[in-house]
Amino acid sequence: MNRRRRIEAHRLPCGVPAVACIAAVLVGVAAISAPRAWSGSSEALAQSAEPMSIMMMVACVEAGEEGAFHLTRATEPEAIDDRLPPQPEPSAALGGNRFRLIGTLDEFGVARHVGHKVWAKGLLVEDESERRLNLVSITHLSAGCE
């Protein structure tokens, strides 16, 4: 029996063929990912489709309330232009900025870096209330934060 017939032959407990459920899921995914109608100019659409740059900075990691982590004394965010930018030296200067780290912080082991100087990379998210960095990479530079 070929693959399609095996899928069509399966029925869910309610009696609906499995292939009907698969089709419904695919239609739902298509509806979610379908582009929305745009009422602005084509130039504005082109500008809104610009990809976000990965930003990098040198900073200290600080633990905050309720499991939050921040980059403190951070340098100004700098867009990564090179595929593999050179890693800053452990003696790299710090700055005066603060960013809340967001994303899958446990997977990056951010808690291990508290009190250390790091080189952080991610997507910068800014609004009126705070600046956040959606972390994609963190590299230990030094154990102290001088």
Domains of the chain, by residue range, sit at 3-46, 54-142
> Closest Cα partner for 113 from 66, 71, 54, 67?
71
Residue 140, class by beta-carbon neighbours within 10 Å (0-12 exposed, 13-18 middle, 19+ buried)? Answer: middle
pTM: predicted TM-score of the whole model, two decimal places: 0.64
Is 54-142 CATH 1.10.1060? Answer: no
Per-residue tens of pLDDT for the chain, all 146 residues: 554 455 445 554 555 555 554 444 444 444 444 444 445 555 655 555 667 889 999 999 999 888 899 999 999 999 988 788 899 999 999 999 999 999 988 888 999 999 999 999 999 998 888 999 999 999 999 998 87
Structure tokens at 38: 């745009």
